[in-house]
Each structure stands twice: as C-alpha cells, then as structure tokens.
Structure 1
Amino acid sequence: MTGSDTSERPAVAADVPTARQLRSRLRQARRRHRTQSVGDLLTDVYMVVLFGVMYGVAFVSNAREYLDSPAAAAADAGERYWIVVAALVAVAGLGWQGLRSVGPLLVVPALQSWAVSSPVDRAAWLRPRFVVLLGGAFGAVGLVGAVSAFVDGVDAGVDLVVAVSGAGVVGVAATALAVVAQGSRAGRRWPRLLGVGLVGAGAVLTVGVVVAHFTGGGLVRPSGSVAVGLLAVGLPVAVLTAALAARSLPLVDRAALTTGAQFANAAATAAVMLDPSLLGGLLESRRWRGVGRVRSRRFLAGRRWWVLVQAEVRRLRRHPSAVPAWAALILVQYAVAVAAPAVAGSAQVIGAYLATDRLTGGLRSLSRSPGLRRALGGDDSRNQVAHVVVPGMGAALWWLATLPVGGPSLGWVAVVMVFGVVVAAYRSGTRPPLDYDTPVAHTPFGVIPVGLMTQMLRGWDVVAVLVVARLLLS
C-alpha cells in the first residue's frame, strides 16, 4: 500500500467510556488489588464508632453535670446561651474556610492524571462524589446538632429529630454553596467575604454579650425553638444551593480539584505521621503566596539581635492572621469568663500560650531551616533568643489585657505565669523533627508510643504544669 493511500485513510475515533463505565472498571481493578478483608474494614469502622460514642457520651454527661453544678449557676443562663450562639457562628465561618481550602470536591492524584484529564464527562464523574459529600455534611453537622440537643436536655422524640434535621440542612446548604464557589471563576471575592463575615459576626455578637455583662444589661434566651427555625429556613435554602451546585459541576476544573487534594493529602499525612508541621508547612506556604508582593525597606542599623527583632516585627505586620488571631483570643478569654467563670484562670493560661504561639513564626522557621541558620550566621542560641523578644512582649500584653477576667491570683503569680508561657512557646517553636524510633509501652488499651507522645506534647507539658500551679496558688 502506498504512502498516499495510507494518508487518505479516515481516522477511526476511539470509543470514550462513560463515567459509569469508567467507575465500574476502576472498581473491578480495586477488587483485584485489595489486600484488606471485609472483616478488617468492619473492625476499623467499629473502633471508630466505638471511640466516637465513648467520647461523645463522656462529653455530654460532663457538660450536663457542669450545667447543673453550683459553678455554672454563677453565670447568667441568657449570656451563656448567646455566647454559645456566637461561638457556633464563628465556628461556621472557620468551617466554611476549611471547606474552601479542601475544595470541597477533590480527587486523588492518580485520578487527576488518568480520569479527570480524560475526555470523560466531568459532571457525571463528580456527581456521585457530590451526593456522598452532601450526605456526609448532613451527618456531620447533624451530629453536632444532636450533641447540642443532648446537652440542652433533649433526650429523644420529635425535638431531637428536628434538631438533627435543622443542623443537617445547614451543613448541606453550606457544602453545596462551597461547591458553587469551587466552580465559580477565579478572583471572585464573595467566598472569602462570606467566611470573614461569619467570623466577624460571631466576634461582634460576643462583644455585645461581654459589654452587656459588664454594663448590667440583661440578656434572655429566645422562647421559640431555634432548631425549628433552622429547619424552616435551611430546607429551601439547602434545596436551592444543591440545585445550583449540581449545575456548576461541569465548571469545576482540574486546578480546583488539585488544590483541595493537596490540602487533604497533607492533612491525612499529618494525622498518620502525628506531625502537625506537615500540614502547617502547606498552610504557611499558601498564606505567604496569598500575600503576594510586599514593599521592601531597609532595617535600622544595629547589632544582629536588633535587626532580627525588626525582621520579626515586619514579619508579623505582613502576616495576614497572626495579630488578628492574637487579638481574637483576648475576646475568647472574656467570653469564657462570662459563660464559665469557674475555669477562667485555667483558660487564661491556655489562651496566653495559644496567643503567644501565634507570634512564634520566625522562631519556628529558624529552628526548622538549617540553611536559614547558616545564612544568618552567629550563635544559634542567641538568634533564637532574639526571636523570642516579640512573642514575650505579646504574652505580657495579652496577659495585661485579660487581667480583669483572669480570676483571682497573687501579683507575683502573673509574672511566673507569663514567664512560663514564654518558655512553653519557646519549647514548642524549637521542637526538632519527630523521631519515630522511640520506646513504646504495652498497656491494656494497646501499644502507646510514649517517646513519640512526649515529643508531640513539647510545650504543652509546661502549660499543664502552669495550669496545675495556677489552680493551687489561686
């Protein structure tokens, strides 16, 4: 056959499988390579459910016991109710930002290369994942509603079903709206503004409750059922947003799916390896990429430690969330003092540590980067001490700002607590990479990696000592 005859032969189009056919073939391939039996899978599910029920029952019983105790009677029931509402609104905002970070639709790297990049109908491919995602959102948020109902005294009946359904439809609406945001054009600001608005609304509501508490304004709990209102309003919103999300599935591109998969893989790896720094590194790189371009200016002349302190101050000014989180923890301390005054002293120590730890980004970067230490030169210990100056000042200012609601304590106790918090933040910031070759302890509950847990609790061990000392010295 001549070359001209070959070139004139019409090309035969390859048959493109449907999304259902491709899922069927992948399912068959997984069955052939599966090493875990069905019994092992059921055992894992049983253990997860068992621990969830155990901790859930313990939390509900302890919460009810506290609400019935004389310590809880010192707080106004109406103020405590609105503090909880403000916390739920703020947590909803943070959960929205988490959904946006994950995707929420995502695929594993193998499917990104071999399925999503193929000519298979992407909407049909993502539709089963979308349905499962909405079901998981209904179950997860509905579980939060069930726990809230149990704590509030609702044990069974129609009220419990309404509480679960009301919370669940809110979760479905939020997840569907996140899918709509995932399929929208890049550069739109409403997804970010929605998360910031929810967190800001929770903060404003908390400020209102705190101001009403200290000015003597009375707050009452609504007489109607909040769960009924959530169900009445959330059900049509959930149906509408789910329909919009289903229509936006073809608009979800590979970039959106890949970004969420990176975050999910980092979170899963951090959970398996018990190393939060694996997830923190990804979040830090995303945060600094979001800052974009900055204006460079010269440092004031001086010794090495003075230049490092200036660099740390400039780093915090450019950090988008370090100082706001530090200030938000002050508001959290006031809210705890209003809602649960019996634990205000312990909460002050824990809050001071969390606030100070938010200011130790430079110390963590210096401790985890040998190249940066070599570039800076000098003595490593002195460089680390220079990076503790700003967190130390932040801890002192945070403690002074929360002193009116920190509970009774002696004057010198505050100095000891602040110094201990700075030491705890220093230990946490200078934690070396985890060493997994550590001794273990065989207990009736299983094998416990004692050495690994000791490394993970570096910093929190000092906080635990401070909390016990605060309780004994107050």
Structure 2
Amino acid sequence: MIAALRRADLGPVEIGLLVFVGGGLLVQVLRPSRVAQVVALSSGAAAHPGLVVSGVVVGVAASVFAISSRWGPVRVDPADLRWRLAGPADRSTVLRRRAVTVLGVALAAGAAVGGLTATLVPELAVVAVGGAAAGAAPGYVLAYLRQRRRDRRHGTTPPRASSLSPGNLHRKTFAPRDGYSGALGLALTMLDVSWLEEARVTRWQRARVRAGGRSLPGGAASALMRVDLRRLLRHPDALVRWSVSVAAGVGAAVLLDFRHAETVVAVLAVYCAGCSVSGGLRVSVRSAALRRATGLSDRFVYGCHALIPVLGTLAAAAVVLPWWSLSPVAAVILAAGTAVAVLRRGLRPELRYDGPVTADPMTGSAVNLQLFFAQIRGLGALAVTLLVAGAF
C-alpha cells in the first residue's frame, strides 16, 4: 500500500498525514463505547472472554495457513523470475525479502483482527492484539514448511533438511505460472474479486484436461443436474466456502448480540453461502451449443442449472436463520429473496471495463453504467428482500 502511494507521487509527508489522519478517524469510530452501541458479545460469550480471544487466535493462525498455502508463502511474478532472478546470482536475498514482507503483512492482518476483537473485549485488548498478531506467525511457518515439502517433487537434488533458505526452492514453486499474480493485480486495480475465481477455474481446467467424456444416461433434466453436481464436487473449495459462510452466520448469532441490522448479517451469511455454490451458472445457462445439442428451451435449461444454487441457498438459510430472532414469515421471505439474489448474481453479464462512459454534469465524474449495474446485480434484490422482510 505504501509503495502504491509512492507511485502516485505522494511524498513521505503526505503519506504520513494520510496514515495518521486515517488512523485517528478509525480509532474514533471503533472506540469500544461506540461499537457497544451496535454490537456486543452475547451473555454466554461475555462470561468467557478468554475463550473468545483464544478462538480468534486459532482462527487467525488457520486462516493465514490456508491463504498462504493456497497462494504460496514465497512467491514472485513470472516476469520477476525472468528478468531479475534468472541470472547466475544468488536469489536467496530477494526471496527472503519477499518472505519477510508476506510475514509482515500476515502479522499486520492478525493485529488488525485482534484490534477488532479488542473493541468487544476492551479488558483484554493487549492480549487480543498481541495474541492475534503472534498467531499469524505459526500459520505462516507451517505454510512455508508445506511449500518446502511440495518443492521436493520439482528439484533434481533435494536440499538438506536443515536448510530453510528460500533460495533452495525450485522456480516452479516460488514462481508458478498459474495466473494468480496477474489476477490479484487485476482484482486490486478493478476492485473485483471475480478475477481470482476465474484464475482458479482456469488453473483447475489446465491441470485436469481430459479427452472425451462419459455419457450420462437418463432424462435431460437428470443429466443436466448430474453435470452440475459433478462440477460442484470437482471444486471442493466451493463446499468449504459454503461451510465457512454457514459457520460464520451461526457463530455470529451465538457469540454476538447485535443492537441494529442483525437481519442484514444473517442474510449476508446465507447470500455468501449461496454464491459459493453458484459457480458456472452463467456459462451453463447461456451455452448455445448445449441448447442446440439437446433441443431444450432456455427456460428448461435455466431451471435445471438453477437447482443446485437454489438448494444450496435454502439449505444455508435452514441452518442459519433459526439461530436469529426472526418470525417464520420473515424467515421464509428472506430465504426466497436470497435465493433470487443468488441467481441474479450468478447470471450477471461479463464485466465490461471498456463499456461506454457517462459523464455526470453535476460532479463531472465519469461512470461506466454497464459495469456498475453488472457489479451490483443481485445486491439490489437482496436490499429489496430486506425491506420487505422488515415489515414482518
């Protein structure tokens, strides 16, 4: 972030001013007295604040391990490998600097999570911040050891077991050509995380491409639904994200007591769970080759492919919503409306960053309306659902 600000021609004084002013505003907004007006620990969790802090530390360690293992704790761009690290010089210094940078980011993220926890348990603020920051370290170390173990399959002469230097890693380990580096840059630039999802799917397809396929006996509806189920089982991380979203919704209801907008939290958990199992919906529904091959109507194909996202959303709602103090009518409305929002999100068109730009005569700002409406598709239906359910 600091490097990005420096590239924007901001000097140390401007950067320091932004950091101190932003930090001061953040401290004022997240004061424990202000946070307590919106959310507080439930009576059961407030009786055991130490367990809450311990759970946060364990969660930080597990999250850092999972994310670092997925992306690689030591990683450089393929371009850096070609132009900076392909020579005869030792690359240990550059890779060690990258490892320290990622570790610092993990520690800072853990400290930020601990700071948010400290707003709920101010009496254990120091323990929460320090413990969450320290919990990121073992998660990163375990991810690095896992990366070294995987590295043995690439190297011709495995390094000594006592050598932990990143310079011993193979280039296929610390600079894989999986498209994640470019996707992360696009996600940060465009503020659209769908680039990461597309890179993940592309990586999976390249690693598991096969010739031919097996036939699916049975009716058309049964074949289409089994294809969707097979695609879902190929990506177990979708089921993991569904489980995490459901666990977050239940955990928030058990551990936290919301003074305002508790319905929004419950619906967002169900919405995230439904979106996690709706991957590939747009491509499947709009496949012209599939319609020509089967001779089925668009509505029939859409109904078959929409079954798994709808069932995933309704299953998440059946698990999450009973933990919140909602009336039966409001729960039904929220479940149905969230399913519609998930379908609309899964069917949103491709994001056109080169679409026509409209200038606002009042402010003079430029707005890409096609991009804007595509990005908020599904969220509008979610907002309408919350408004309607609020009447009950």
User: Normalising to structure 1: TM-score of the pair?
Assistant: 0.66
In structure 1, give the amino acid aligned to 2:225: V
Residue of structure 1 in register with 2:148 after alignment? 183
Residue of structure 2 in register with 1:152 after alignment? 121
Alignment: residue pair count: 375
Q: Does 1:318 align with 2:230?
A: no
After superposition, the Cα gap between the structure-2 partners of 1:38 and 1:278, relative to the gap in structure 1 and judged at 3 Å, is: closer
In structure 2, give the amino acid aligned to 1:453: F
Which range moved further: 262-271 or 80-89?
80-89
Residue 297 (structure 1) shift: 5.4
The correspondence of residues 213-252 of structure 1 with structure 2, limited to 5 A, is 247-252=164-169
Report the Cα distance in structure 2 between the residues aligned to 1:323 and 1:261, rounded to whole angstroms. Answer: 22
Structure with more of its chain in helix, by fraction: 1
1:351 pairs with one of 237, 261, 269: 269
The correspondence of residues 233-382 of structure 1 with structure 2, limited to 5 A, is 247-259=164-176, 262-287=179-204, 298-302=215-219, 304-342=220-258, 344-366=262-284, 378-382=296-300
Report the Cα distance in structure 2 between the residues aligned to 1:245 and 1:51, rounded to whole angstroms. Answer: 46
Q: Does the 8 Å contact 1:99/1:175 carry over to 2?
A: yes
Q: Does 1:86 align with 2:55?
A: yes
After superposition, the Cα gap between the structure-2 partners of 1:127 and 1:435, relative to the gap in structure 1 and judged at 3 Å, is: closer
- Can you give the 5+ residue segments of structure 2 that lack an aligned partner in the other structure? 1-5, 154-160
Aligned CA RMSD, in angstroms, stands at 4.0
The correspondence of residues 1-150 of structure 1 with structure 2, limited to 5 A, is 39-40=9-10, 42=12, 45=15, 49=19, 53=23, 56-57=26-27, 60-61=30-31, 64-67=33-36, 76-78=45-47, 82=51, 85-150=54-119
Q: Does 1:392 align with 2:361?
A: no
After superposition, the Cα gap between the structure-2 partners of 1:292 and 1:426, relative to the gap in structure 1 and judged at 3 Å, is: same
Residue 280 (structure 1) shift: 0.7
SS of the residue 2:377 aligns to = coil
Residue 355 (structure 1) shift: 1.6
Flag the structure with larger Rg. Answer: 1
Report the Cα distance in structure 2 between the residues aligned to 1:37 and 1:327, rounded to whole angstroms. Answer: 40
After superposition, the Cα gap between the structure-2 partners of 1:80 and 1:344, relative to the gap in structure 1 and judged at 3 Å, is: farther
Residue 382 (structure 1) shift: 3.5
Report the Cα distance in structure 1 between the residues aligned to 2:42 and 2:101, rounded to whole angstroms. Answer: 43
Q: Does the 8 Å contact 2:267/2:338 carry over to 1?
A: yes
Residue 383 (structure 1) shift: 2.1
Show CA shifts across 1:229-254 (max 9, x none). xxxxxxxxxxxxxxx99733222121
Residue 53 (structure 1) shift: 2.6
State the identity as a percent. 27
1:427 pairs with one of 344, 351, 371: 344
Residue of structure 1 in register with 2:372 after alignment? 453
Residue 43 (structure 1) shift: 7.9
Show CA shifts across 1:301-325 (max 9, x none). 21x3332122112222333133343
Q: Does the 8 Å contact 2:65/2:142 carry over to 1?
A: no
Report the Cα distance in structure 2 between the residues aligned to 1:327 and 1:142, rounded to whole angstroms. Answer: 25
Show CA shifts across 1:272-316 (max 9, x none). 1233222111122345567788997542421x3332122112222
The correspondence of residues 159-174 of structure 1 with structure 2, limited to 5 A, is 160=126, 164-174=129-139
Residue 37 (structure 1) shift: 7.2
Q: Does the 8 Å contact 2:78/2:176 carry over to 1?
A: no
After superposition, the Cα gap between the structure-2 partners of 1:136 and 1:246, relative to the gap in structure 1 and judged at 3 Å, is: farther
Show CA shifts across 1:184-223 (max 9, x none). 34479xxxxxxxxxxxxxxxxxxxxxxxxxxxxxxxxxxx
- Can you give the 5+ residue segments of structure 1 that lack an aligned partner in the other structure? 1-35, 189-243
Residue 376 (structure 1) shift: 6.2
After superposition, the Cα gap between the structure-2 partners of 1:168 and 1:277, relative to the gap in structure 1 and judged at 3 Å, is: closer
Residue 163 (structure 1) shift: 5.7
Residue 70 (structure 1) shift: 9.3
After superposition, the Cα gap between the structure-2 partners of 1:285 and 1:373, relative to the gap in structure 1 and judged at 3 Å, is: farther
Residue of structure 2 in register with 1:407 after alignment? 325
Residue 113 (structure 1) shift: 1.0
Show CA shifts across 1:73-127 (max 9, x none). 6554136764564355334323222112332222233321123222111223423
Report the Cα distance in structure 1 between the residues aligned to 2:49 and 2:367, rounded to whole angstroms. Answer: 39
Report the Cα distance in structure 2 between the residues aligned to 1:186 and 1:292, rounded to whole angstroms. Answer: 23
Residue of structure 2 in register with 1:21 after alignment? none
Report the Cα distance in structure 2 between the residues aligned to 1:293 and 1:87, rounded to whole angstroms. Answer: 42
User: Normalising to structure 2: TM-score of the pair?
Assistant: 0.77
